[in-house]
Structure 1
């Protein structure tokens, strides 16, 4: 399908272009990666570009998946752009390396084990085409587990003002659902690693402080894989210290007032330091 389509093509691309930014690494499974890329192949509106970062050495099974999809996209409307890092550097560094190759007006995130709904690109790009003042559009998502645990919905406030208010207390945006103006993302310097695994929350706050306009589409456009290992990584002393440092930065930058800083820092220190079933219950409560 050529950019713009013809007068009878009701799935013609919006004027703005979009680059999908994603990465994989050694611990990802070939099956998850295949499913993720298949969900992009099935889009009703193909993205203009997929920037695919290989974050360090991976196994032959993943390499075979990448080769198959690279060949598939070669003759279609989507440009498949591989970016390889010699060593595993982590998500933030991988995203920054890929961002340098994003040629779209907007950059749409997803992870190598996420599944996009078939209309994700079409819905988000249609909204951005109709609302030129929006800089970052997100969506609701479904969290699912491979072990048979029932899936759950990750919902967020919809309006710009509601998103800003909620961000003072917690990260309400599902990182792999965002589609953000590429020029603005580059202007901010992309992702920072200073606060550990809070690089997405840090980015959203910096976008807000730069005057970005947010909107969340109240529809599930992505399914993201979760597990207890992921939740364990979100706790412990090291994570708690990153959280405290992050909250201090929000206060110093004026995003939080003293009351908001004191209350949110106290609550999150407890949350990061509790263990076992209690953290799981608090996690589920916070996500809903």
Structure 2
């Protein structure tokens, strides 16, 4: 089965992380993509450009590099990338993450076995700097009904491991501006339009989080983003309005907590540590 891998790169990426990412999606995969679309979201600098050129020499025409004249942000960059993907199935990947060696093999098999599904991801292990220390599971529900219920409270897919049908995403208008929630916004529109979705129970990817990223997502701008999320849920009629308003207040309250407290809540209640 043919499929495209879609990534967006911007100048703050670490060249070592990018190199590890390419190794995981090309050298180490049991099943390889027949197309990799890499959007350069503005100028990325000489070091990253050299890394991209090196992998272009290794991979050949399978790697399509699309430079944008200036930085537009992840959502807009991905929308541009979708236009350049020639396959119906698109697999997302972030340029600092690492796929398991059987990620594509498992996702291709799932697509072939479930032709009604248009969007799905899988489980993800998070780590800071060293993949050998990955022991925090970012878990998402597996069945269609569980996902619909979960989506009322939290994002039901791991964006960095997601696969979706190109024409469905384009038909829904692609990614839309929504601070740090472009993916959640899109998934709600997919679910709200009654498309079939799922998740694999398998870990498909190691995600680099680092430096308290989640704890920093706080403040007034994030509360505005929560309000946009509330309005979308009401528009799509995915949630009882009273419950949706209550959830908005709770989520907004968390955005006002000190970063260290927010980080502890995140790590204690929203992630599962895996003992080695």
User: TM-score interval w.r.t. the shorter chain?
Assistant: over 0.9
Kept after mapping to 1: 8 A contact 2:216/2:259 = no
Give 2:33's aligned residue. Answer: 47
Query: How many residues of Structure 1 are paired with residues of Structure 2 in the alignment?
Result: 269
The answer to whether structure 1 residue 58 and structure 2 residue 41 are counterparts is no
Separation in 1, partners of 2:231, 2:170: 25
What SS is found at the alignment partner of 1:37?
A: helix
Kept after mapping to 2: 8 A contact 1:145/1:151 = no
What SS is found at the alignment partner of 1:100?
A: helix
Separation in 1, partners of 2:150, 2:67: 36
**Unpaired runs of 5+ in structure 1?**
1-13
Separation in 1, partners of 2:262, 2:158: 20
What SS is found at the alignment partner of 1:197?
A: coil
Pairs within 5 Å for 1:188-203: 188-193=172-177, 195-203=178-186
Give 1:35's aligned residue. Answer: 20
The answer to whether structure 1 residue 70 and structure 2 residue 53 are counterparts is no
| Pairwise CA distance, 1:32 | 0.5
| Pairwise CA distance, 1:149 | 7.0
Question: CA distance change for structure 1 residues 65 and 180 in 2, over 3 Å: closer, same or farther?
Answer: same
Separation in 2, partners of 1:44, 1:244: 43
**RMSD after superposition:** 1.6
Q: Which 4+ residue blocks in structure 1 deviate beyond 3 angstroms?
A: 147-151
The answer to whether structure 1 residue 24 and structure 2 residue 9 are counterparts is yes
| Pairwise CA distance, 1:143 | 0.5
What SS is found at the alignment partner of 1:191?
A: coil
The TM-score, its normalising length taken from structure 2, stands at 0.93
Question: CA distance change for structure 1 residues 230 and 276 in 2, over 3 Å: closer, same or farther?
Answer: closer
What SS is found at the alignment partner of 1:270?
A: helix
Larger mean CA deviation between 145-154 and 234-243 belongs to 145-154
Kept after mapping to 2: 8 A contact 1:168/1:260 = no
| Superimposed CA distance per residue, residues 143-180 of structure 1 (whole angstroms, 9 cap, x where no aligned partner) | 10017976301111110110011000111311111100
Structure 2 counterpart of 1:179, from 159, 163, 170:
163
| Pairwise CA distance, 1:287 | 3.6
| Pairwise CA distance, 1:249 | 2.3
Give 1:7's aligned residue. Answer: none
| Superimposed CA distance per residue, residues 213-254 of structure 1 (whole angstroms, 9 cap, x where no aligned partner) | 111111111001002352244211111111122212211331
Separation in 2, partners of 1:175, 1:187: 19
Kept after mapping to 1: 8 A contact 2:93/2:160 = yes
